[in-house]
């Protein structure tokens, strides 16, 4: 009984400590946003210089930097979003055409700008070169976008192949020449479309392939896009759920096409 009570007590103390630290961190972020606005941040960022590698490849250290910045960015964006909503509510209450309402409106735009630059602020807070971070993020986002395109193409090809197989079956089972001719024309059209799709497919560069493999060691291929989308979500987790649903939908389409 005593052990159970002690365990519960320790858990309660730990949770209270975590909540207190979270509140302290958010208060600190809020103070920094007030004292060091977006214009000040941009001036600091302009002082950083970085020359990207000629091969365009990311390193493990850069991926670790990106993920650390992303974690802190989320905290900053949440605080900025909450403040933007508070200013918007205050503007509505004061009357948007009143002086007080217009002032709150300007503050709302300021908080929105802080949401947009949350990642750069996070990189600066953590002591990283912001120009290097921006390059790294660009490479990660490009690799993530390419992964999404590849995933969508996979689903589209699966649907295409399934339709083609059904059309071929109808052609083989057709009893008269007119039906045979109709299905043959449709099959030829599908073959033409398939060739055009293959010809127009963007080639994956060596650097892109390398970066995608490196990102997979640390993160899901599509998580960069989901995280970027999450800045604007009203309900936490909606962006990630949407991305997960997309992957599941494509995987199901591929599986169904093989049945």
The predicted-structure confidence for 11-47, as pLDDT tens digits, reads as follows: 444 444 444 445 436 677 777 777 777 888 888 888 9
Q: Which residue has the higher pLDDT, 196 or 210?
A: 210
> Does 196 lie in the same domain as 250?
yes
- 127-153: average pLDDT: 89
Fill in the DSSP letter of residue 129.
Answer: -
Q: Output the pLDDT for position 145.
A: 84
> Does 28 lie in the same domain as 45?
yes
List the structure tokens of 6: 């002690």
> Does 246 lie in the same domain as 220?
yes
3-17, 70-84, 114-128, 219-233, range with the lowest pLDDT: 3-17
User: Given 109, 128, 147, which residue is the final one in a domain?
Assistant: 128
Reply yes or no on whether the pLDDT at 136 is more than 50: yes
The predicted-structure confidence for 150-187, as pLDDT tens digits, reads as follows: 877 777 777 778 888 888 888 888 888 888 888 888 88
Name the H helices within the chain: 2-35, 38-45, 60-94, 99-116, 118-125, 130-173, 177-200, 206-218, 223-230, 238-257
Percent of the chain whose pLDDT exceeds 90 = 17
Q: For residue 26, what are the contacts with CB-CB under 8 A and spacing of at least 6?
A: 75, 78, 79
> Does 157 lie in the same domain as 107?
no
Reply yes or no on whether the pLDDT at 9 is more than 50: no
Reply yes or no on whether the pLDDT at 125 is more than 50: yes
pTM of the model: 0.68
> Does 103 lie in the same domain as 143?
no
User: Given 78, 109, 128, which residue is the final one in a domain?
Assistant: 128
The predicted-structure confidence for 57-86, as pLDDT tens digits, reads as follows: 999 999 999 999 988 888 888 887 777 677
The number of beta carbons lying within 10 Å of the beta carbon of residue 73 is: 25
Split into its structural domains, the chain has a count of: 2
Q: Output the pLDDT for position 172.
A: 86
Q: Output the pLDDT for position 15.
A: 44
The number of beta carbons lying within 10 Å of the beta carbon of residue 130 is: 22
CA distances from 232 to 77, 157, 226 (A): 9, 32, 11
Q: Which residue has the higher pLDDT, 197 or 110?
A: 197
CA–CA dist 199, 171 (Å, integer): 27
User: Given 102, 128, 154, which residue is the final one in a domain?
Assistant: 128
**Which residues form the domain of 184?**
136-257
CA–CA dist 10, 92 (Å, integer): 45
> Does 222 lie in the same domain as 148?
yes
Check: CB of residue 120 under 8 Å from CB of residue 126.
no
Average pLDDT, the chain: 77
């Amino acid at each position: 009984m005593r052990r159970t009570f002690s365990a519960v007590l320790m858990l309660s103390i730990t949770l209270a400590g975590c909540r207190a630290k979270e509140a302290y961190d958010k208060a600190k972020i809020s103070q920094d946003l007030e004292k060091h606005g977006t214009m000040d941040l941009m001036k600091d960022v302009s002082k950083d210089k970085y020359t990207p590698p000629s091969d365009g490849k990311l390193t493990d250290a850069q991926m670790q930097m990106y993920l650390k910045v992303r974690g802190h960015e989320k905290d900053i964006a949440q605080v900025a979003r909450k403040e933007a909503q508070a200013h918007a509510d205050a503007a509505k209450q004061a009357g948007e055409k009143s002086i007080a309402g217009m002032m709150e409106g300007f503050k709302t735009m300021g908080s929105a700008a802080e949401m947009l630059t949350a990642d750069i602020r996070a990189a600066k807070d953590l002591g990283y070169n912001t120009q290097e971070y921006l390059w790294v993020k660009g490479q990660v986002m490009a690799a993530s976008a390419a992964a999404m395109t590849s995933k969508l193409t996979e689903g589209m090809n699966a649907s295409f192949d399934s339709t083609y197989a059904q059309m071929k079956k109808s052609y083989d089972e057709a009893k008269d020449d007119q039906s045979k001719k109709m299905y043959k024309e449709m099959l030829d059209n599908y073959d033409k479309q398939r060739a055009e799709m293959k010809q127009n497919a963007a080639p994956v560069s060596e650097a892109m392939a390398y970066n995608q493999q490196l990102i997979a060691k640390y993160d899901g291929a599509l998580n960069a896009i989901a995280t970027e989308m999450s800045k604007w979500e009203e309900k936490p987790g909606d962006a990630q759920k949407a991305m997960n649903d997309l992957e599941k939908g494509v995987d199901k389409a591929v599986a169904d096409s093989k049945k």
